[in-house]
Amino acid sequence: MANLSKKKKVKVAIFHHKRYNNDMNVVEKDAVVSGMLKDELKRCEEALGAIRKALSALPKGSLSIRAKLYKNKKYEYYYLKYREGQRIVNQHIASDNLGELKKKLALRKQYEQEVKAYEQRIVYLKRLLKTKGRTRGAQKDK
Amino acid sequence: MELKRTSNIIFAQPISGLLETLSSVGFFEDSMLIGSWVMPLYQEFFGISYTLRTMDIDFAIHLLKGKKSHRIDLEELIVSRGFTPFFTQLGIQKFSREGFTIEFIVHRRGGRDEDPVFVRDWNITAIPLPFVSIMTDFPFMAECEGYQIKAPLPEAFFLHKMITLARRVEASKRLKDLEQCAVIAPRLERKRLEEVCHSVRLSAKTWNAVRLSCEAINFPPQILGLEEHRGGKRAKGR
């Protein structure tokens, strides 16, 4: 097996950087790295699409409480407050549905955070994969 | 099954917390961690160093017939660890947190594409893929940070990669698999590799693909019981 590793070095070198590629950045000259970044971009875009789809099925807005006094007794009513175009909608929520709605709103928040994370990651990956003519620190091959 | 121990911290959060949670419910009794995230374990226990890692964490589920002892809601458990569940267009269930995605894989019998499989014992949907049993049949147990994780032996991981890389559509993924195999190859135990190769029944076409992969990384196919230049035929006696 020890002999194998010596032999391997010759062929495995095809995966790694060559001197004539010195003007390129790592992403351009290393096919494995660039491939992984492209796959990662694809994975992020796919995940983002799926999460956005799941997000669209969840209720948006926030819960607000209105307290009313009636015959010296305080009653609380829950409303889902959300924007629909120009107007703000206050939708009354029955107390039976309150628990489920709270869960869905929490899940929506979680999804929104994930969307933000994936959007940032996609921007970063696209920037990395953007091919440049010449990079900082690249030296001429002598 | 081999048990390897270390006091070193191998995985960072949130991966470490997730693995600990899965370990605590007995997930690793039958199932295992696969994909590029086994590499930190290989580095620690086998001296195999490969730093490139993807952000998806794959787990192979070993389906056992008639076993009903588990019945743990893995979806709920993973969500409780801060991961967000979602389904892709193909109906594949994934969990996401901070850019990491978790997915589950089961062994697929036969050659045809199958729809995602619902694993009732764990309440999750898994993707059926071929040759996964090669890895699940040859595991080792790693104990780190007070919990145990099951992963495939490098020999099983190597053979699985050598088979699947030939089927890769994308050249970049094929190249990545080849690079991983080239890194693992010098550290393989010949006897164990032979054992893995003897245990699998593959078609001549598949062995031929493995032979070509061997040539690409300059790995002698004879070690896998293959002849070097004879159209993919298995060596005598196999």
Among A3-12, B54-63, B139-148, B184-193, which is the least confidently predicted range? A3-12
* Distance from chain centroid for Cα B20: 18
Query: pLDDT per residue over A77-117, tens digit each?
Result: 999 999 988 999 999 999 888 999 999 999 999 999 999 99
- Quick check: B186 and A107 CB within 8 A? no
Rounded to the nearest angstrom, the gap between the alpha carbon of residue B161 and the centroid of all alpha carbons in its chain is 9
Q: Which of B96, B175, B179, B224 to mutate to test the interface with A (most CBs of A within 10 A)?
A: B96
Q: List chain A domain ranges.
A: 26-129
DSSP string, A41-88: HHHHHHHHHHHHHHHHTS--SEEEEEEEEETTEEEEEEEEEEEETTEE
Identify all chain B residues contacting A31, using CB atoms and an 8 Å cutoff. 171-172, 175
pTM of the model: 0.79
pLDDT surpasses 90 at A24? no
Q: Give this complex's ipTM.
A: 0.76
pLDDT beyond 70 at B237: no
CA dist A5 and A9 (Å) reads 6
Contact: A4, B185; criterion CB under 8 Å = yes
Which pLDDT score is estimated for B221?
A: 83
Q: What is the mean pLDDT of residues B154-161?
A: 94
Average pLDDT for A34-54: 90
Determine the 3-state secondary structure of A112 from DSSP: helix
Cβ neighbours of A47 in B, within 8 Å: 86, 88, 94, 96, 101
Written as six digits, the tokens of B97 are: 């947190």
For B127, the 3-state DSSP assignment is strand
Q: Do B175 and A32 touch (CB under 8 A)?
A: yes
| pLDDT grade for B58, boundaries at 50, 70 and 90 | very high
Average pLDDT, integer, range B168-180: 85
Query: In chain B, what residues touch A34 (CB-CB under 8 Å)?
Result: 172
DSSP at A16: S
Q: What is the DSSP letter of B124?
A: E
Tell me the residue length of chain A.
Answer: 142
| B154, B140 Cβ separation under 8 angstroms | no
Neighbour-count burial of B79, counting CB atoms closer than 10 A to its CB (0-12 exposed, 13-18 middle, 19+ buried): middle
Mean pLDDT of B23-28: 92
Residue of chain A whose alpha carbon sits nearest to that of B92? A50
Confidence band for B174, pLDDT divided at 50, 70 and 90: confident
**From the candidates A26, A43, A104, which should be mutated to test the interface with B, based on the most B CB atoms within 10 A?**
A43
As a whole number, mean pLDDT of residues A16-22 equals 50
Give the number of beta-carbon pairs within 8 Å between A and B.
Answer: 94
> Which site among A29, A110, A116, A125 would you substitute to test the B interface, given the most B Cβ atoms closer than 10 Å to its Cβ?
A110
pLDDT for res B167: 84
More confident residue, B22 or A18: B22
pLDDT tens digits for range B176-232: 888 899 999 999 998 999 999 988 888 888 888 888 888 888 888 888 877 655 444
Dist CA A7 CA A4 (whole Å):
5
Ranked by mean pLDDT, the top range of A33-37, A52-56, B70-74, B165-169 is: A52-56
Task: Indicate if the alpha-carbon torsion angle A39, A40, A43, A44 is positive or negative.
Answer: negative
B147-152 β-sheet, strand order: B2-6, B139-144, B147-152
